[in-house]
């Protein structure tokens, strides 16, 4: 793979480059979407900043608290060890707090953000793939449906000579597809539906991909499921509840308008 874009006069990693591209793309698209919805476009800067800070800190905290045998500041400040669900939870909490502080409508704001959550995650997974950071799938077996896609990562940050499932590439592809679906639907669904669909779609995708991810040192928690499985399942359940609530609220508004 290609862990570094350049090493001299200073190193620029491909993961950092793709993450930055994902955040800048999300900021640009989010500003457009907020303007279309009648909100201050400048809120996009704050939302992306909170997502960067919350995503990194939450991912690191979840890693050192759930995956390392003991807490170490060296693990916290190292360039590796980022846990997806920790970043998602803290970034979401910070942004929801911002929406409440500014008295912005939660359903409209989370809907505006939803497509960019998918695209930002996809860019990050492309970075994982290019850098070979160890987020690989299981070794491939003869006859696997996607055997032709399997590959070794001898030059990765975490090298492997085995032909493994390139799970970051799988996740990038399906999340770009999810982004396209959400972007297409953004002006066609009731308030709250878009964000609920994101939670359900991305949760299902993450739950399934975890079955072909290398377990590494991530422990099983319940019924052979790892932390990522459990958070993804909770995400799907929350998404279904929010979807039901959004549809019921939309039906109530339609009935109220008909009586008026």
pLDDT digits (tens, 9 = 90+) for 177-218: 999 999 999 999 999 999 999 999 999 999 999 999 988 777
Listed in sequence order, the residues at least 6 apart from 124 whose beta carbon sits closer than 8 Å to its beta carbon are: 15, 18, 19, 22
- Report how far residue 227's alpha carbon sits from residue 219's, in angstroms, rounded to the nearest whole number: 8
Q: According to the model, what pLDDT value does residue 21 have?
A: 95
Domain count, the chain: 1
Give the Cα-Cα-Cα angle 208, 24, 19 (nearest 5 degrees). Answer: 45
Q: What is the overall mean pLDDT for the chain?
A: 88
Average pLDDT of the residues in 37-57? 94
Nearest to 30 by CA among 16, 48, 56, 18: 48
Given its phi and psi angles, is residue 158 left (phi above 0), alpha (psi -120 to 50 degrees) or beta? beta
Q: In the predicted model, is pLDDT for residue 260 greater than 80?
A: no
* pLDDT tens readout for residues 3-26: 887 777 877 888 889 999 999 999
pLDDT-wise least confident of 13-22, 47-56, 96-105, 213-222: 213-222
Q: In the predicted model, is pLDDT for residue 28 greater than 80?
A: yes
Question: Quick one: pLDDT band at residue 241, thresholds 50, 70, 90?
Answer: very high
Nearest to 226 by CA among 54, 66, 118, 72: 66
- Report how far residue 208's alpha carbon sits from residue 127's, in angstroms, rounded to the nearest whole number: 21
The pTM of this model reads 0.90
| H helix runs in the chain, sequence order | 14-36, 43-66, 73-77, 84-101, 106-131, 167-185, 193-209, 227-259
pLDDT-wise least confident of 20-24, 44-48, 138-142: 138-142
Domain ranges, residue 35: 4-259
Match 């912005």 to its residue by tokens.
104
Nearest to 175 by CA among 148, 198, 150, 145: 198
Q: How many CB atoms lie within 10 A of CB 258?
A: 7
Q: According to the model, what pLDDT value does residue 16 have?
A: 87
Q: According to the model, what pLDDT value does residue 73 have?
A: 60
């Amino acid at each position: 793979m290609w862990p570094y874009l350049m090493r001299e006069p200073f190193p620029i990693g491909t993961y950092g480059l793709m993450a930055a591209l994902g955040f800048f793309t999300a900021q640009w698209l989010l500003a457009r979407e907020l303007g279309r919805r009648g909100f201050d476009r400048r809120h996009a800067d704050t939302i992306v900043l909170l997502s960067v800070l919350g995503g990194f800190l939450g991912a690191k905290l979840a890693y050192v608290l759930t995956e390392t045998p003991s807490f170490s500041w060296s693990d916290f400040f190292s360039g590796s060890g980022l846990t997806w669900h920790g970043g998602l939870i803290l970034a979401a909490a910070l942004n929801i707090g911002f929406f409440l502080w500014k008295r912005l409508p939660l359903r409209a704001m989370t809907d505006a953000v939803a497509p960019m959550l998918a695209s930002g995650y996809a860019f990050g997974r492309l970075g994982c793939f290019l850098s070979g950071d160890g987020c690989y799938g299981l070794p491939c077996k003869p006859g696997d449906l996607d055997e032709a896609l399997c590959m070794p990562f001898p030059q990765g940050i975490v090298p492997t000579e085995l032909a493994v499932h390139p799970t970051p590439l799988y996740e990038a592809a399906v999340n770009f597809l999810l982004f396209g679906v959400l972007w297409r639907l953004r002006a066609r669904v009731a308030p709250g539906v878009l964000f609920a669909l994101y939670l359900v779609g991305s949760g299902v995708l993450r739950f399934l991909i975890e079955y072909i991810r290398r377990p590494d040192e991530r422990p099983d928690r319940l019924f052979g499921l790892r932390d990522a499985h459990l958070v993804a399942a909770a995400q799907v359940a929350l998404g279904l509840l929010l979807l039901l609530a959004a549809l019921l609220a939309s039906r109530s508004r339609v009935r109220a308008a008909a009586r008026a």
